[in-house]
């Protein structure tokens, strides 16, 4: 049994715990909080379910102890930096960190890589939603006069998105002033954005999300090869499950001596799955 | 430059040649026919584009010379046997054979594996077409009174398919007799099948194909996670391109000392792609 611990117990940490308990080859090695003693964690793998900006700090401490880690670091422009920072720690301490292991970055990344291998020339568009954007929600909440907010991402195709911003106003706040501040914010100024006042943001709460990923490209000399991937999912449940599947891959890679920090496009799909190679090949190939 | 040769010059061999020529990191090391001297092939990788039943014989001879091979062996029930036969040859001769590298088996297999990792419990249905089925076409051609035939696979959902069989009759053949023979054939007896007489099968010829692959499953304890992959493609062009991308993976695996016969679910997506790790991670993750 692979012993998997959870560090951080928000939406994703709770979902990850459920996925560990559902896995036939894993047991829960404990749930830990940000302020707990990291030296006290005894596990084969730790799922780092902290806020994204704290991932590197925690993963580096755990990797230095030779423990495998998995995170769902999701700032696309900084993923290579995270890999570069953790890779030498993993090599020195003979362990594996799987980074940015969620659905985007994560499984969407694997699909983008696969579609590029199938049609090397062409365009891929990743369309997100409908679903809540955490970054935009946080930006809307920070605006003066906003008590609570929810920013929904609506896909319009070709990677263009509409922002539907639901705001619960503080007593005495002026809607028109808040609306103007949202529309002027750099998070919203570049997209079609609609601001709507509601009595309760909590009443809208829903962790549903989705993706529509399309590629049209060229295989060899043949144009008009068309591919599409769609999903409609519970966001933290999928993220937690993907992290747990990557925990299995991390342990297998460490067993084979393939140390280092790796993104999901650097993992073999079979390593994500419970079971023997023969059975998996017979069932899935 | 990776030196890639093509063995067998039918639809797939021709498409593979085009994909080699389009690849920035490859050069064509020759096109060879079934009866050519295998000992004369000088290449890093050979794409075995022969009929499926001849793949094992040719791949084993080439692997014994330490050459990497890629095939698109497509008899689903015999893939594990092929892997078992080629694996010791690859291990002994320190080389890599990527087997069953097309779109199904192949890239569809990678997607099935990935979706299983995202929602381990649930059902996946792979719906093929509309497109020509080679196996069913050959079965229809073998029927007495049939001069030429084309069997189209039409997806009806949940893995159920309709067979549309277009037959060009020999002079004097009776349509009703041919129709009854098609419907009684084991290839067609279990599916909804329609037989249609046409003047020219050649006039219907089209290498378009498609897939609709759906999974509904459970991530952790969360049900109703829904995934769908669709594609509409030129069949030999995609198969040839996938084989060429797998040739790159085979060479990289051999360079790392990861010898053996492997299916596509055992490959890292990044190994399929031209370019450096840093650029690929930045572009795709």
Same domain, A37 and A96: yes
- pLDDT per residue as tens digits for the range B35-88: 999 999 999 999 999 999 999 999 999 999 999 999 999 999 999 999 999 999
**Do B268 and A270 make contact, defined as CB atoms within 8 angstroms?**
no
| String of DSSP letters for B50-89 | S-GGGHHHHHHHHHHTT-EEEE----GGGHHHHHHHHHHH
**Do A244 and B220 make contact, defined as CB atoms within 8 angstroms?**
yes
End-to-end CA distance of chain A: 26
> Which of B118, B124, B279 to probe by mutation at the A interface, max A CB count within 10 Å?
B118
| Residue A135 pLDDT exceeds 90 | no
Q: Which residues of B touch A226 (CB under 8 A)?
A: 231-233
- Whether residue A239 is preceded by a cis peptide bond, meaning omega within 30 degrees of 0, is no
In a domain, residue B136? The reply is yes
> Which of A127, A242, A262, A284 to probe by mutation at the B interface, max B CB count within 10 Å?
A284
Q: How far apart are CA B206 and CA B198, in angstroms?
A: 15
Q: What residue in A sits closest to B268 (Cα-Cα)? A: A268
Q: Which of A176, A191, A219 is a domain's end point? A: A219
For A7, the 3-state DSSP assignment is strand
Pairing of strands B260-262, B96-98: parallel
Cβ proximity of B28 and B53 under 8 Å: no
Give the helix ranges, DSSP H, for chain A. 11-22, 55-64, 79-92, 107-118, 134-141, 175-184, 235-255, 277-284
Q: Which of A219, A248, A275 is a domain's end point? A: A219
- pLDDT per residue as tens digits for the range A49-61: 999 999 999 999 9
**Do B222 and A116 make contact, defined as CB atoms within 8 angstroms?**
no
The minimum CA-CA distance between B145 and chain A, rounded to whole Å, is 36
Same domain, B71 and B34: yes
In a domain, residue B253? The reply is yes
Same domain, A99 and A12: yes
What's the average model confidence in pLDDT over B194-204? 98
Q: What's the pLDDT score for residue A188? A: 96
- pLDDT per residue as tens digits for the range B77-96: 999 999 999 999 999 999 99
- What dihedral angle (degrees, nearest 10) is formed by the CA atoms of B256, B260, B266, B269? 40
Closest partner CB to B221 (pick from A18, A264, A268): A18
| Residue B217 pLDDT exceeds 90 | yes
Does ipTM surpass 0.90 in this model? yes
In a domain, residue A226? The reply is no
- What dihedral angle (degrees, nearest 10) is formed by the CA atoms of B273, B279, B280, B285? -170
Cβ proximity of B193 and B163 under 8 Å: yes
- pLDDT per residue as tens digits for the range A227-282: 999 999 999 999 999 999 999 999 999 999 999 999 999 999 999 999 999 999 99
**Do A227 and B226 make contact, defined as CB atoms within 8 angstroms?**
no
Q: What is the DSSP letter of B269?
A: G
Cβ proximity of A93 and A65 under 8 Å: yes
| String of DSSP letters for B230-242 | EEEEEHHHHHHHH
Cβ contacts from A onto B, under 8 A: 228
- Hey, how many other C-beta atoms are within 10 angstroms of the C-beta on A51? 11
In a domain, residue A110? The reply is no
Same domain, B101 and B241: yes
**Do B270 and A266 make contact, defined as CB atoms within 8 angstroms?**
yes
Q: Which two tokens stand for residue A64?
A: 């230095």
Average pLDDT, chain B: 97
**Do B116 and A284 make contact, defined as CB atoms within 8 angstroms?**
yes
| Residue B135 pLDDT exceeds 90 | no
Cβ proximity of B73 and B100 under 8 Å: yes
Q: Which of B188, B219, B250 is a domain's end point? A: B219
Q: Which residues of B touch A121 (CB under 8 A)?
A: 22
**Do B114 and A228 make contact, defined as CB atoms within 8 angstroms?**
no
- pLDDT per residue as tens digits for the range A189-210: 999 999 999 999 999 999 999 9
Same domain, A204 and A277: no
Pairing of strands B146-155, B161-169: antiparallel
Q: What residue in A sits closest to B245 (Cα-Cα)? A: A117
Closest partner CB to B18 (pick from A221, A238, A278): A221
Q: Which residues of A touch B26 (CB under 8 A)?
A: none
The minimum CA-CA distance between B45 and chain A, rounded to whole Å, is 17
For B250, the 3-state DSSP assignment is helix
In a domain, residue A230? The reply is no
In a domain, residue A229? The reply is no
- Among residues A241, A235, A233, the alpha carbon closest in space to that of A47 is found at A241
Same domain, B273 and B198: no
Count of domains forming chain B:
2
**Do B269 and A272 make contact, defined as CB atoms within 8 angstroms?**
no
What domain range is B184 assigned to? 121-219
- Whole-number CA gyration radius for chain B: 21
Structure confidence at residue B134 as a pLDDT band (50, 70, 90): confident
Angle at B7 between CA B6 and CA B13, to 5 degrees: 60
Q: Which residues contact B223 (CB under 8 A, 6 or more apart)?
A: B217
Cβ proximity of A136 and A186 under 8 Å: no
Cβ proximity of B168 and B147 under 8 Å: yes
**Do A219 and B228 make contact, defined as CB atoms within 8 angstroms?**
no
Same domain, B264 and B176: no
- What dihedral angle (degrees, nearest 10) is formed by the CA atoms of B103, B109, B111, B116? 170
Same domain, A214 and A252: no
Q: What's the pLDDT score for residue A134? A: 86
Give the CATH number for residue A21. 3.40.50.720
Q: Which residues of B touch A79 (CB under 8 A)?
A: 281-282, 285
The minimum CA-CA distance between B168 and chain A, rounded to whole Å, is 29
The minimum CA-CA distance between B33 and chain A, rounded to whole Å, is 21
Q: Which residues of B touch A274 (CB under 8 A)?
A: 120
Same domain, A146 and A199: yes
Same domain, B17 and B88: yes
Cβ proximity of B6 and B49 under 8 Å: yes
- Among residues B278, B253, B222, the alpha carbon closest in space to that of A209 is found at B222
**Do A118 and B100 make contact, defined as CB atoms within 8 angstroms?**
no
Same domain, A81 and A160: no
Same domain, B198 and B248: no
Q: What residue in B sits closest to A111 (Cα-Cα)? A: B111
Cβ proximity of A100 and A264 under 8 Å: yes
- Among residues B281, B238, B252, the alpha carbon closest in space to that of B98 is found at B252
In a domain, residue A81? The reply is yes
In a domain, residue A254? The reply is yes
| String of DSSP letters for B124-141 | EEEEE-SEE-HHHHHHHH
């Amino acid at each position: 049994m692979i012993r998997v611990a959870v560090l951080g117990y928000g939406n994703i940490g709770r979902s990850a715990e459920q996925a560990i308990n559902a896995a036939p080859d894993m047991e829960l090695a404990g749930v830990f909080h940000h302020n707990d003693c990291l030296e006290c964690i005894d596990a084969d793998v730790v799922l780092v379910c902290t806020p994204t900006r704290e991932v590197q700090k925690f993963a580096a401490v755990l990797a230095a102890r030779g423990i495998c880690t998995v995170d769902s670091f999701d700032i696309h422009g900084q993923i290579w930096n995270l890999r570069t920072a953790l890779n030498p720690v993993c090599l020195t301490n003979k362990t594996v960190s799987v980074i940015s292991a969620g659905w985007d970055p994560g499984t969407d990344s694997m699909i983008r890589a696969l579609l590029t291998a199938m049609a090397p020339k062409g365009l891929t568009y990743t369309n997100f939603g409908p679903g809540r954007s955490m970054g935009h929600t946080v930006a809307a909440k920070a605006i003066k006069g906003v008590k609570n907010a929810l920013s929904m991402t609506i896909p319009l195709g070709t990677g263009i998105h509409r922002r539907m911003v639901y705001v619960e106003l503080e007593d005495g706040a002026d809607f028109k002033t808040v609306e103007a501040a949202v529309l002027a914010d750099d998070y919203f100024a570049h997209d079609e954005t609609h601001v709507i006042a509601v009595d309760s943001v909590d009443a809208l709460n829903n962790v549903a999300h989705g993706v529509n990923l399309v590629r049209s490209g060229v295989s060899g000399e043949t144009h008009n090869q068309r591919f599409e991937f769609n999903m409609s999912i519970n966001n933290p449940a999928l993220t937690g499950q993907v992290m747990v599947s990557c925990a299995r891959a991390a342990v297998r890679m460490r067993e084979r001596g393939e140390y280092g920090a790796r993104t999901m496009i650097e993992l073999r799909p079979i390593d994500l799955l419970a079971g023997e190679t023969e059975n998996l090949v017979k069932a899935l190939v």
